[in-house]
Structure 1
Amino acid sequence: MHIPDGFLDPWVAGLFWLGSGTVIGIALKRARGDLGDERTPLLGVVAAGIFAAQMLNWPIPGGTSAHFVGGAFAGILLGPYLGVLAMTAVVTIQALVFGDGGIIALGANLFTMAVVDVLVGYVLFRMLRGIHENGAAFIAGWLAITISALVVGVGIGVSSAFAYELSVTIPIMVVGHALLGLIEGTITAAVYGYVTSARPDLVLGRFEGETLSPEVDL
């Protein structure tokens, strides 16, 4: 999922930087209202856990690499704004310290993992939660990473700097991550189930008076 430098045309990388920068800036502003509630101590814990899990990855042909992302879980547990910020910290540190993903391509990696994965996972969970909470967490984890992979496939597929076109990048990225997504969805549901059992007061949507609207006010 981490795109190295040299895979994206400058204009594609620039669009990703614009998109991720806009959403992260909004998240910084909106998250100020969340910093005083019970989820705040979880920010570092969730980010550290996801950081460790993301370090385990493997290459897939015609794309970049596949690994656990965790953005959907961050969005489910922390909410969309703190979730975006947690994933932004994870992806940025990986690029700057460990060389996992390029610097020029950092905007794209932030957009796919810190924006798309978090927001799609959050919205799906909130939409389906009333039917079955753990099932909603599974679907959110599975589909969010699949859609994120689709965005990666499009980004590298439209770039002339990359060796393969959309007809190759999209199927490889989507199929590979849809299969991985089954594992990600299972882990997301399992960890969510554990947290709801151990500390239900920390789960978004269980606070007194909080609504279950799937909308994200950007």
Structure 2
Amino acid sequence: MHIPDNYLSPSTCISLATVMVVVWRRAVDKVKNEFNKRKFPLLGICAAFSFLIMMFNIPLPGGTTGHAVGSTLVAILLGPYAAVISITVALAIQALFFGDGGILAFGVNAFNMAFIMPFIGYYIFKLIKGKSENKNRNYIAAFFGAYISINAAAFLAAIEFGIQPILFKSILGFPIYCPYPLKVTIPSMLVPHLLVAGVVEGIITAGVYMYVRKLSPEVIYRKHESENSQLRLRPIYALIATMIILCPLGLLASGTAWGEWSVEELKGLIGYVPQGMQNGLSYKTIFLDYVVTGLPETVGYIISAVLGVLGIYIIIKLINKKVLVVRDR
């Protein structure tokens, strides 16, 4: 679901990035008012969780791969506006250092995964949960919130891909950017997510929510919560450490995610390279595809996971000090 550069027109990318600027500003204001210094590290912890869970690729129907995102889980734990910031930071680290998602397309990926997913997932969760404190109903609500939200994001990505050949063609009638129309992009994106990726997203969300609810329930977002409750973060730190160690399992899924092909792969599929991809943005990342040159793939994957988490920690610290200026309450 990470849309690379040059699959979408610059105007498409700029339009959704403009929407995200408004969302980011609103999210910063909300988090500034709701978070104190004691709770602020949770933004980084949840961003690290999302970054890591996206490294666990799974095989999907059609020979492609996919992954969970964790946006709904973060929204349940921190609230939807805080989830916007956490997921945005995770996506920024992926794009800047690992080539996972485009630079020009960053606003589009943030729109799909850092805005649409957490808000839809959170409110579906609240709708199904209601005022009930029954734990089984809570877990069911978490599952369906996550399942519906990732499919909503996949549907939007399919629309973004599919409108390109309608709106942007060369004088010879060839697509300039993504070459696949809506009749191809919608089933190609939705079927694997409806059948597999959405189920995985739901199970992970419900499972981790169950884990946090049992071991660190004070972390879970409440609009009117005690400011003096002690946060028990050791179980969550243990979860993050375990994910770093196990992340090479994501290498077991072979194949490329749909819509994330390299120029060479796309040429092999359709027989030519669209004009916009030939002359588009080219950004070279340091650890492309989580590979560390000269090291075994598994070791490089773990090192990339550690570096990604460290990068998230640094960005969250900078946001804390330079942007949000979170006050003590």
Note whether the superposition's TM-score is higher than 0.5.
yes
Q: Describe the SS at the equivalent of 1:104.
A: coil
Q: Report the Cα distance in structure 2 between the residues aligned to 1:23 and 1:133, rounded to whole angstroms.
A: 28
Is 1:171–2:171 an aligned residue pair?
Answer: no
Q: Secondary structure at the match of 1:142?
A: helix
User: What SS does structure 1 have at the residue aligned with 2:178?
Assistant: coil
How much identity, in percent, do the aligned residues show?
38
> Aligned letter for 1:176?
P
Give the match's secondary structure for 1:5.
coil
1:1-218 to structure 2, matched below 5 A, reads 1-36=1-36, 39-57=39-57, 66-130=66-130, 132-160=137-165, 161-178=177-194, 179-205=196-222, 208=225
Contact 1:8 1:156 in 2 (8 A): yes
* RMSD of aligned residue pairs (Cα, Å): 2.1
Q: CA deviation at 1:197?
A: 1.0
Rounded Cα–Cα distance in structure 2 between residues aligned with 1:56 and 1:28 = 29
Per-residue CA deviation, residues 188-209 of structure 1 (Å, 9 max, x unaligned), is 0011011111122221238548
Q: CA deviation at 1:55?
A: 2.0
Gaps of 5+ in 1: 210-218
Alignment CA distance shift 1:135-1:37 (3 Å):
farther
Kindly state the Cα deviation for residue 40 of structure 1 after the two structures are TM-superposed.
2.5
Name the CA shift for 1:159/1:60 in 2 (closer, same or farther; >3 Å). Answer: farther
User: Highest Rg: 1 or 2?
Assistant: 2
The structural deviation recorded for 1:128 is 1.3
TM-score norm. by structure 2 comes to 0.59
Cα distance, 1:116–1:167 mapped onto 2, change above 3 Å? same
In structure 1, what is the equivalent of residue 292 of structure 2?
Answer: none
Corresponding position of 1:214:
none
State the distance in 1 between where 2:93 and 2:163 align.
Answer: 27
Deviations 1:44-92 (A, max 9, x none): 1111111111123368799x96211111111111101111100010001
Amino acid at match of 2:188: I
- Determine helix, strand or coil for the equivalent of 1:7: coil
Query: Which whole-Å deviations, capped at 9, do the CAs of 1:84-135 have from their partners, x for residues lacking one?
Result: 1000100011001111111111111010011111111111111111351110
**Which amino acid is 1:192 matched to?**
Y
SS in 2 for 1:205: coil
Cα distance, 1:37–1:124 mapped onto 2, change above 3 Å: farther
Query: Which amino acid in 1 is paired with 2:71?
Result: G
Report how many aligned residue pairs link the two structures. Answer: 208
Structure 2 counterpart of 1:142, one-letter code: Y
Cα distance in 2 for partners of 1:70, 1:29 equals: 23
- Aligned in 2, Cα 1:38/1:120: closer, same or farther, shift over 3 Å? farther
Distance change in 2, residues 1:75/1:23 (3 Å)? same
1:3-23 residue CA offsets vs partner (Å, 9 max, x unmatched) = 001110222112211122211
Residues in 1 aligned to 2:225 and 2:92: alpha-carbon distance in whole angstroms? 34
Gaps of 5+ in 2: 166-176, 227-329
Give the match's secondary structure for 2:3.
coil
